[in-house]
């Protein structure tokens, strides 16, 4: 614990003194990231950077489960354009259908889901069409 600031010493000078003493004791030498460059230092400043970094470390999402599921359904065709096998397409659609079913059976608080389970055969048909037209 730090000492109290003596009377008559300016606040900035006292803080600088405390930092200097801690540096002498080596208290900053073992901090994580010491001597390493800052990550993504060319990105524009974001006030919420520390919250986003914490959520990424914790694997948390800032979207509600319903909105996250809607976004996955919306992004599905674009994500399937990179898939090379029919089995993987089926697996991704099956995983998404399981999420949809879970959200329909036990809806979380918030907006309703508003989407139905996906038709695997229709999605496979569209995937094949897109794959064949790209050749």
* pTM, 2 dp: 0.57
| pLDDT score for 1 | 53
- List the chain domain ranges: 65-133
| pLDDT score for 124 | 93
| pLDDT score for 106 | 92
| pLDDT score for 26 | 87
**How do residues 79-105 score in pLDDT, each as one tens digit?**
998 888 999 999 999 999 999 999 999
DSSP states along the chain = -PPPPPTTS-HHHHHHHHHHHHHHHTTTTTSTTTTSPPTTTTSPP-TTHHHHHHHHHHT--SS-HHHHHHHHHHHHHHHHTT---HHHHHHHHHHHHHHHHHHHHSPPSSS----PPP-HHHHHHHHHHHHHHT-
| pLDDT score for 2 | 63
Question: Residue 99 has which token pair?
Answer: 């999420």
| pLDDT score for 91 | 95
| CA–CA separation, 114 and 100 (whole Å) | 10
Low-confidence ranges of the chain (pLDDT < 70): 1-2, 40-41, 135
| pLDDT score for 75 | 93
């Amino acid at each position: 614990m730090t000492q109290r600031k003596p009377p008559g010493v300016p606040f900035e000078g006292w803080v600088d003194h405390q930092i200097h003493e801690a540096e002498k004791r080596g208290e900053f030498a073992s901090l994580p990231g010491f001597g390493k460059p800052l990550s993504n230092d060319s990105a524009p400043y974001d006030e919420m950077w520390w919250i986003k970094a914490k959520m990424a470390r914790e694997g948390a999402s800032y979207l509600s489960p319903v909105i996250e599921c809607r976004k996955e359904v919306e992004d599905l065709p674009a994500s399937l354009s990179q898939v090379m096998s029919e089995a993987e397409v089926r697996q991704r659609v099956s995983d998404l259908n399981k999420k949809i079913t879970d959200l329909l059976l036990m809806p979380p608080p918030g907006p309703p889901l508003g989407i139905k389970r996906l038709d695997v055969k229709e999605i496979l048909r569209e995937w094949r069409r897109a794959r064949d037209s790209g050749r």
